[in-house]
Amino acid sequence: MKEIDNVIRKMNLDFFGTGSHRIVFDQLMDLIKKDDVFLLDVRTKEELQYVVIPFANNIPLHEIPDNLDRLPKNKLIAVYCTSCIRAAIAYSYLLPRGYNVKVILSHLDEFVANFKPGYVRKNLSK
């Protein structure tokens, strides 16, 4: 609990003002191309029936404590869910455990909307 206390104490105006807790779409996609990020989907298995990001790794939020061995310590972990709430909880849980983690601040619909035909043709077909 002491580690969590220390993480929370650092979450002041400077922390949120600098945006060090988040990652934006273009940054994320650059890291994915370099294989320098672990994209973590913390939605439930039931939610995956509707929208799947094929290059993401699904570990529902409530299963993270039992699956820490699946998370890399040598890569950035970018976390998302449908509305950022569970992603923020995962962030707060993983950060004091020594993981390099950031939250994708886009809601899932905003995140998926980035994959328009022009983007896919230009970037992902290489």
pLDDT in tens, the chain (126 residues): 788 788 788 878 887 777 788 898 888 888 988 999 999 999 999 999 988 888 899 999 999 999 999 999 999 999 999 888 899 999 999 999 999 999 998 777 777 777 778 777 777 555
Distances (CA, A) of 9 to 6, 35, 83, 86, 98: 5, 32, 24, 20, 16
Helix pair angle (2-9, 85-94), 10° resolution: 120
Task: State which residues form the domain around 82.
Answer: 2-124
Closest listed residue to residue 16, CA positions, set 88, 76, 79, 83: 88
Distances (CA, A) of 69 to 22, 31, 72: 23, 22, 8
Helix (H) or strand (E) holding 93: helix 85-94
Please give the sequence-ordered ranges of beta strands (E in DSSP) within 21-126, or none if there are none: 22-23, 37-41, 57-58, 76-80, 101-104
Tokens 């934006």: give the residue: 24
Is residue 67 within 8 Å of 44, Cβ to Cβ? Answer: no
Global pTM reads 0.84
pLDDT of residue 29: 85
Domain count, the chain: 1
| CATH at residue 33 | 3.40.250.10
